A and B are shown apart, each in its own frame.
Chain A
Amino acid sequence: MDFLNPYNLQVITFIVLNCILAISIFITLATGQLSLGHAGFMSIGAYTSSILSKNADMPLFIAILAGALMAGLIALLIGAPTLKLHGLYLAIATLGFGEVVRVILLNMKITNGALGITGLKSLGTYLYDWEKMLGITAQSLGVTVPVIKSLSTLVFMLLLFLLILFLTLRLNSSRLGRAFEAIRADETAARAMGIQVNYYKMLAFIIGSVLAGLCGGLFAHITTAITPNDFNYHKVVEILSFAVIGGTEVVWGALFGAIALTTLPEVLRGLAEYKMIFYGAIMVLVMAVRPRGLIGSDTLQKLFRRNKKHNDQPKGVE
């Protein structure tokens, strides 16, 4: 019971949120596109859903979904010209996009400029309202209200995450996933094989952006207050480092990166002022020892060979 305190629940909720973000960047990277626009798409999702839920009084889930779709729509618009670019050029273009979004948000009236949108209804409160309608109250379960709210948020997030993960794994082994992989391995060869490269790249970009928009909406309603500065350059780096530290070859790598990088600052909390030094040192060390990320496809193969009985990937679940 001690484990179920809102602090632990909150930290795990952020971990799950970051896992979804990791999947979002993983899918874009799956076609070999280095997009740094994820914070931009996140902010589009966050602001769209916040304005809809706060100003237009829409149901929360519809608002969050609308935010995700909005991000996808914008991705469609900016994807057409930018996806012709490769590697670092694409990175710079999408990074510029993220900054443009941030500056627009700073200057619009409806987004309340730099002050941002505050006083949003939290996901936990919303879920708890539902539970109360179903006759489940904190008293009947013998826990405090904050605990049940955090717990509901976490359970909701976990279910959502598992659904997304399931779909991602299905995607990877489908025609689509194999096309992504072919493009990533060699774009010219993929084109020669008859794969419509531009179509698949666009698709990966949009799926990644929709997921980022979804995370934005969730982030807004977990923290209950958003400002344009929450989605600045640092956020991009954070999301990107999930994939880079964890590995970009298999989805488990990105997930592992998200879990590790979200947990580390909390575990290192005891070190107070020296926290960031250790954090940085660990990052440098990982990059020096495993430049292609902690978990690559070879890691999984090794595990399989050693442990043939297990058919699922045991490393990623943890």
Chain B
Amino acid sequence: MKGNSISKSLLSVLLGTSLLVGCSSGASNPSSTGAAPETNNAAPTESAGEFTAKIGGVFILSGSSAAYGEAQKKGLDLALEELNETNKGKLKIEIQYEDTGGKKESAINSVNKLINQDNVVAIIGPTLSGEMLAAGPVANEAETPIFGISNTVEGINDIGEFVFRNSLPESIAIPTAMKQAIEKKGSKTAAFIYAENDDFSVSGFQTMKKTAEEMGLQNLGETTFAIGDVDFSAQLTKIKQLNPDVLLVSALYKEGSMVVKKARELGINSLIVGGNGFNNPKVFEIAGPAAEGLIVATPFSPEKQDEKVQKFVKAFEAKYGSKPDQFAAQAYDSLYIMSQSLLAAGTADRNALRDELAKLKDFEGVSGKLSFDEGRNPIGDAVVVEAKDGKFVPFE
């Protein structure tokens, strides 16, 4: 009977854990299957010049981070619909989506499949920087352009010639926000709090620290917490005693919002500047009125008074019934960049497309102006926004 009890305990452990796994991967949203209407080819008047380009989209569409991937997919679908309408007779784009579930192996497999089996001309994605660092070399080796739209950590472009991104590295976004905010308020001292078990947050913290040093801010102290924590009293009590002029928070939106909320509850009156992780409307749901005055750098703000941005926001709201976030905006822009470069190349060829992408200059997108430098790093300017009355407005 011994063997039986072992298999029983195995079974109970497996059942328990499969419940856990099931919870975390149950967030996928099966709505909005990218069935964008294709261009009507019934009357191919100019079909002589039309060519088809198949592009792969590699995103997290299931699992705990599926919200990011879904937003990106929505942005791409909207752009696809518009582009196939305007480019009728010249270029037809098709997108094939692959889900990574946030797993590195799956990202590698997806990229390999798209390149070798589906013969895509380029790939947009993957969602996470970690996935890009694993899958980017694969695409680069196969000489297929891979275009990151949400990879902000350092070193993405160093992977190789075929790796691009339009997501501003944090090394540009964070210093912009810090400089504008701190110069205005005349802050002298700073304290840091960040999530130590998340690559995105740690990378953001390093940039913040470096910028603070460059700006001559006095570093009063650094504290950490972990993604998944719900109680931050110990860390924030310590920060309250330090009484910094500015509190720099690098975290994902969920924990970050809770940190902001708790900080205000404890009576910390410092100016709070957050990293890219705060670019999410959910911040206001979690932090409530405590979010007031929070300053964040973002490549995109739906409140920006710009004709292009407002047109995009309106179209997005009409299609999905919600306001687009930064992820949707950058996805939207990426397909416009692809289409522009494909039209310039005149053919769906990977090498020709790469050369055209590298030449990109002064592209006017909804997430600002974009060019690439020699290292294919994006040059653009971040918008600094401030939380006011439950939404992010441009910081003045």
Task: List residues of A whose CB falls within 8 A of some B CB.
Answer: 5-8, 10-11, 14, 29, 32, 34, 36, 87-88, 91, 103, 106-107, 113-116, 118-119, 122, 144-146, 149, 184-187, 223-225, 227-230, 233-234, 236-237, 240-241, 243-244, 248, 265-266, 269, 272-276, 280, 283, 287, 291-293
Contacts and interface: CB of A to CB of B under 8 A. Distances in A.
Interface residues of B, number: 58
A273 B33 contact: yes
B137 to A, nearest CB: 6
Given A115-B202, A240-B13, A273 B30 contact: yes
Given A10-B108, A11-B109, A113 B196 contact: yes
Given A122-B137, A223-B134, A269-B98, A114 B199 contact: yes
B350 to A, nearest CB: 12
Contacts of B115: 6-7
Contact of A223 (B25, B33, B105, B201): B105
Nearest to A245: B14
A114 B201 contact: yes
Q: Determine chain B's interface SS by DSSP, over half rule.
A: helix
B113 A7 contact: yes
A106 B225 CA distance: 12
A32 B6 contact: yes
13 contacts: A10-B112, A32-B6, A87-B6, A114-B199, A119-B155, A146-B138, A146-B141, A184-B3, A240-B14, A240-B17, A243-B10, A269-B98, A276-B28
A122 B199 CA distance: 22
B364 interface: no
A248 B7 CA distance: 8
B225 to A, nearest CB: 12
B94 to A, nearest CB: 15
B375 interface: no
B21 interface: yes
Interface string B287-314: 0000000000000000000000000000
A116 B112 CA distance: 23
A115 B104 CA distance: 14
Nearest to A105: B197
B2 interface: yes
Contact of A287 (B14, B112, B142, B159): B14
Interface of B: 2-3, 5-7, 9-15, 17-18, 20-22, 25-26, 28-30, 33, 61-62, 97-99, 101, 104-106, 108-109, 112-113, 115-117, 130, 133-134, 137-138, 141-142, 153, 155, 158-159, 195-199, 201-203
B21 A234 contact: yes
B6 A34 contact: yes
A229 B226 CA distance: 13
A145 B141 contact: yes
Nearest to B70: A273
B14 A275 contact: no
A32 B33 CA distance: 46
Given A115-B153, A237-B17, A269-B98, A5 B116 contact: yes
B104 A225 contact: yes
A10 B14 contact: no
A248 to B, nearest CB: 7
A216 B5 CA distance: 30
Contact of A115 (B2, B10, B158, B203): B203
A273 B61 contact: yes
A7 B199 contact: no
A11 B6 CA distance: 32
A88 B16 CA distance: 12
Contacts of A119: 133, 155, 158-159
Contact of B22 (A91, A229, A233, A280): A280
Contact of B105 (A14, A91, A144): A14
Contacts of B29: 273
What are the nearest 6 A-B pairs in CB distance? A5-B116, A7-B112, A225-B133, A273-B30, A7-B116, A237-B17
A116 B6 contact: no
B129 to A, nearest CB: 9
B99 A186 contact: no
Contacts of B6: 29, 32, 34, 87, 184, 248
Given A119-B155, A186-B2, A225-B104, A88 B9 contact: yes
Nearest to B31: A273
Contact of B109 (A14, A91, A236): A14
B178 to A, nearest CB: 21
A225 B199 CA distance: 12
Given A114-B196, A234-B21, A276-B25, A287 B11 contact: yes
B134 A244 contact: no
Contacts of B109: 7, 10-11, 14, 266
Contacts of B101: 276
A82 to B, nearest CB: 16
B275 to A, nearest CB: 14
A106 B113 contact: no
Contacts of A186: 2
Nearest to B66: A273
A266 B201 CA distance: 31
Among B108, B195, B201, the one with the most A-chain Cβ atoms within 10 Å of its Cβ is: B108
B10 A34 contact: yes
Contacts of A32: 2-3, 6
Contacts of B197: 103, 106, 114, 228-229
Contacts of B10: 34, 240, 243-244, 248
A240 B16 CA distance: 12
A292 B8 CA distance: 9
B142 A114 contact: no
A133 to B, nearest CB: 20
Nearest to B153: A115
B30 A283 contact: no
Nearest to B132: A225
Contact of A6 (B11, B134, B142): B142
Given A7-B115, A265-B106, A118 B2 contact: no
A100 to B, nearest CB: 13
Contacts of A293: 7
